[in-house]
Structure 1
């Protein structure tokens, strides 16, 4: 199981930071994170339920982590393992995550797939999302998987949809000409765009598009010299 301590600094000074696996005792705090990250008019029924969270820790506890600041849970990240090849058919969030329950987790799969990552808005300048992402990269290496994979929303696309295609938008974000709140964050975490997913989830800002992005395990398929 994962447990790592850090000391970060905000306006108040040093802040004790812990990234660890979440447990049933954390469920209320995890739901509060969802409320803070997805306030109304976001549908309340789409926040994590305790049934979903319990399914996470029952099926794949190694993929269920949270981050604490001075003992308060302020962020979480959930993953499952799937079988994936780049030429696989398109998928939706509901299909790949079993509607958030991850009962389709495959311990013999090759890819760690991101179900969700959330950090309370007031804590986002501390780099907590990147800390959790790095923890999952370590999980990829430890479990000898091929990659970490996940689809990022494109909430900035709606402002440019009348000027360019979604392919052009992602290309411009990838080279730094445009900034997207989600895709740029994932790029800064070392993720690389793989392909676009149409109708990935119902998301007005992204016009239902998402970009599938991966981080490859650097210790797989290494060519050794004699």
Structure 2
């Protein structure tokens, strides 16, 4: 998969390529993680080369990156899972095999987002939205039911004494409070369908995540007609 499009940086159009990442990209992939998630984000959650090798080998369709100005500026990774296994509470480590995706299920009906990263210099340029759109296209192309994943709630720590995680998300949806990650996912078309507690080591989010979904509007067309 490879496509070229325009993003806007500092008010000017700039060519960006979205493509699959491979072995030659690993060093830059790790650098993107380090730049995107500086401390206090846990350093042991940055990608390592073994994880990246598993992504490329097991589900290359879910291993994509964005390139502009001669360097990687963002990436997104996913795996396929059986959607029924995600009913109720779950955490990032269990669903993603701690980011190694060795539990990738080729017969799964749900593309689960492992990670999306964009370096600070290119945020608000549309990079993340285009990466997400590309994953939606993958969902449609593979005839999957949906895309699902946990969204951080970095603004929750400002309100955790006055609201539960569920109440916090409701306030964001009502426009009373703002959250940069949930807001981004909403603008990408994702819809919150639940809260996962103990999702990830993330003090800003109260270790919780908003589970957010995008349903394939064409899925019914892939299902066999009843006899």
Question: After TM superposition, is the score higher than 0.5?
Answer: yes
Alignment partner, residue 212 of structure 1: 211
Aligned residues: CA RMSD: 1.7
Residues 12, 221 of structure 1: alpha-carbon distance in 2 compared, 3 angstrom cutoff: closer
Q: Which residue of 2 aligns with 1:99?
A: 98
1:200 aligns with 2:184: no
Output aligned runs, 1:100-119, within 5 Å.
100-119=99-118
Partners of 2:7 and 2:126 within 8 A in 1: no
Give, in whole Å, the separation in 2 of the partners of 1:139 and 1:177.
Answer: 34
2:169 and 2:163 map into 1 onto residues whose CA distance is 10
SS of corresponding position for 2:200: coil
TM-score, with structure 1 as normaliser: 0.94
Q: Which moved more, 1:81-90 or 1:213-222?
A: 81-90
Task: Give 2:127's aligned residue.
Answer: 128
Structure 1 range deviating more: 83-92 or 199-208:
83-92
- Give the equivalent residue in structure 2 for 1:52: 51
SS in 1 for 2:136: helix
Change (3 A) 1:87 1:132: closer
Count of residue correspondences: 223
Gaps of 5+ in 2: none
- Once the two structures are overlaid, the 10-residue window that deviates more, 3-12 or 88-97, is 3-12
Which structure features the higher share of helix residues? 2
Q: Does 1:167 align with 2:182?
A: no
- The answer for unaligned runs of 5 or more in structure 1 is none
Moved more, 40-49 or 117-126: 40-49
Q: Deviations 1:72-123 (Å, cap 9, x if unpaired)?
A: 1000000000001387242111000000000000010110000000000111
Query: 1:166 and 1:129, CA in 2 relative to 1: closer, same or farther beyond 3 A?
Result: same
CA-CA distance at 1:12 after TM superposition? 7.2
1:9 counterpart SS class: strand
Q: Does 1:40 find its partner at 2:39?
A: yes
